[in-house]
Structure 1
């Protein structure tokens, strides 16, 4: 009788492990779609204006701006797979333009 109980718990453990392995890719889908659900940062918002953020770096009018600095080559750009718009550590919950710029740019 003990052998049967032990076999059932082993089977349960293996089933639970299989479900866990299946859950990992499904959980990853939620993380990858999170960035798509975020809103784009508005240039006129207080947070964007505080850091002189612009959607197009060519329009940056700030003394610390240097040609070639854009959001997608900044160390604060948090998703290297993002193309036109992506998340930035400075503006949590918002997307910034890949070709944008702000005074928090770090290279």
Structure 2
């Protein structure tokens, strides 16, 4: 391998690394717009029904439900700054009600 090939390889590596560093902040922008584009979870969906999800915790009719448990104080609520509706690790791609509840609630 001659010096020219070595320098070209190093240059390519450095360019690739620089583009990667520039892409990191831009990826965060994509994630936030994706979160905004998510739809609210339908209580009638198969996934919601399987976990007894309700938009209002006071409507929960499950033995595991305890007063005060809501989606926003669950450990699976993934965006503490979300208000009204937010993402949940159990329902990827959907937003759940801040005051909702499901049987996967953990505190």
- TM-score range (shorter-chain normalised) is 0.7 to 0.9
1:19 Cα offset (Å): 4.9
CA distance in 2, matches of 1:14, 1:90: 39
Structure-2 change in CA distance of 1:15 and 1:89 (3 Å): closer
TM-score, reference length from structure 2: 0.78
1:31 Cα offset (Å): 1.1
Structure 2 partner of 1:54:
54
Q: Secondary structure at the match of 1:28?
A: helix
TM-score, reference length from structure 1: 0.78
**Count of residues in correspondence between the two structures:** 105
1:40 Cα offset (Å): 0.9
CA displacement, residues 45-73 of structure 1 (integer Å, 9 cap, x when unaligned): 11111111000111111111111100011
1:104 Cα offset (Å): 0.8
Query: Is there any run of 5+ residues in structure 1 with no aligned partner, and where?
Result: none
CA distance in 1, matches of 2:101, 2:47: 13
CA displacement, residues 8-48 of structure 1 (integer Å, 9 cap, x when unaligned): x9998877666554433222100111111111110011111
Structure-2 change in CA distance of 1:26 and 1:60 (3 Å): same
Structure 1 partner of 2:31:
31
